[in-house]
């Protein structure tokens, strides 16, 4: 009798604390660090609770940027063009587009119709 490899779900093995992938943990930490700046400002104004709430909101925004994908729907133009892609990839492309003075180069191979 031969041996067979049984497929197994390995999607969750790269996750930390079950909900964080490596990328989402890094982006949530960056968002939390930005939120900590606001926490320190609000703690100087004796409003620590507001600072904590803002820190959590920034951390969740960072988590969402690193974890979620843009939905693939035809209702909006942006989701039609970028549906199914990670949010951070879309943000990176937008920043590169703005840095190149709004020029986007597309290289295509042109074929001769007469052949």
Give the bridge partners for 69, in sequence order: 86
Per-residue pLDDT reduced to its tens digit, 71-107: 777 777 767 777 777 888 888 888 888 887 766 666 6
Residue 21 near residue 13 (C-beta atoms within 8 A):
no
Length of the chain in residues, anyone? Answer: 115
pTM higher than 0.95? no
Retrieve residue 113's tokens: 């119709």
Which spans in the chain are helix H? 22-44, 48-67, 77-82, 87-99
Q: According to the model, what pLDDT value does residue 29 have?
A: 92
Per-residue pLDDT reduced to its tens digit, 32-69: 999 999 999 999 999 999 999 999 999 999 999 888 88
């Amino acid at each position: 009798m031969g041996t067979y490899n049984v497929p197994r779900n390995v999607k969750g093995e790269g996750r930390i604390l079950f909900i964080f992938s490596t990328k989402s943990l890094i982006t949530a930490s960056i968002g939390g660090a930005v939120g900590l700046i606001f926490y320190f400002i609000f703690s100087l104004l004796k409003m620590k609770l507001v600072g904590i709430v803002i820190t959590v909101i920034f951390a969740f925004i960072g988590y969402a940027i690193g974890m979620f994908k843009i939905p693939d729907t035809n209702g909006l133009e942006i989701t039609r063009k970028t549906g199914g892609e990670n949010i951070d990839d879309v943000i990176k492309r937008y920043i590169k587009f703005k840095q190149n003075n709004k020029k986007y180069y597309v290289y295509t191979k042109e074929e001769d119709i007469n052949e």
